[in-house]
Amino acid sequence: MTGGALREESNATDSALIARWRAGEQSAATAIVERHAAALTRFAVSLGERTDLDELVQDTFVRAFGALDSFRGESSLRTWLFTILRRLALDRRRAGRRQRGRVEITESDAVTEYSPLDGVVAQETETRVRRAVERLTRMQREVFTLRVTEGLSYKEIADVVGSTEGAARVHYHNAMRSVKEFLDDE
């Protein structure tokens, strides 16, 4: 693929890429996966998933592309992908198939448990913030991550987590308060 073609892919909207994929352009699918895979992986981590992340992300794309006909475009593609991934993660949790591998974040979790990531998040402030986020409730952590790292609106977050816009706002502000209190107390 040429540099010009790459730029074209990166500028195309998700809707245009979907249309091109439906028309038979496989490269459009590649562009969609490249565009959203990292965000999906980050979100999976915020859900508490620690193993087989690539499998979870792949399953999300397979499920999404298998149901693209039902995607009405009322939300953004990324929001829809988040919703699918969240459901898959919950299914995975319910089934208990990953009981040994999945790490439920608890109060006692030490940051050293995630040593592969520590080298990346080197700065002290960021490490403390991450520890504070790890101590949030599951819902607070999901909402906070979607708001802070992905910049989703409360409406989009509500769509993803199956809540209401008002509840998403409350979860976000409670999360922010908890993070601040943790940083103050440390």
Partner 1 sequence: MMNDCANADVRDLLPELLHGRLDEATRAGVEAHLAVCADCRAELELLRAAGRALSYPPVAVDVQRIVAALPAPGRARPRRWPRAAAFAALAAGLMTVAVWRRGDERAGTTPGQHVDTGPVVAARPSDSVARPAAGGLVAPGGASDSARTRRGPDRAPTPREDATLLAMGELSDLSADQLESVLAGLDDLDGIPSVEPQALPSPLTSRERLQ
Residues near partner 1 (CB under 8 A): 21-26, 29-30, 33-34, 37-38, 41-42, 45-46, 53-54, 57-58, 61-62, 65-70, 86-87, 90, 117, 120-121, 123, 125-127, 129-130, 133, 137-139, 144-145, 147-151, 153, 162-164, 167, 169, 176-177, 179-180, 183-184
Cα 131 to Cα 168: distance, rounded to the nearest angstrom = 21
Cα 21 to Cα 17: distance, rounded to the nearest angstrom = 6
Q: Taking the complex as a whole, how short is the minimal distance between the CB of residue 172 and partner 1, in angstroms? A: 8
Cα 186 to Cα 164: distance, rounded to the nearest angstrom = 33
Q: Taking the complex as a whole, how short is the minimal distance between the CB of residue 54 and partner 1, in angstroms? A: 6
Q: Taking the complex as a whole, how short is the minimal distance between the CB of residue 162 and partner 1, in angstroms? A: 4
Closer residue to partner 1 in complex, CB, 87/102: 87
Torsion of CA 142, 137, 173, 158, to 10 degrees: 40
Cα 28 to Cα 45: distance, rounded to the nearest angstrom = 26
Q: Taking the complex as a whole, how short is the minimal distance between the CB of residue 99 and partner 1, in angstroms? A: 20
Amino acid found at 23: A
Contact 23, 44 (CB under 8 A): no
Q: Taking the complex as a whole, how short is the minimal distance between the CB of residue 108 and partner 1, in angstroms? A: 18
Cα 159 to Cα 69: distance, rounded to the nearest angstrom = 19
CB atoms within 10 A of CB 83: 18
Tokens coding 174: 């409670």
Closer residue to partner 1 in complex, CB, 108/184: 184
Closer residue to partner 1 in complex, CB, 7/138: 138
Tokens coding 166: 């008002």
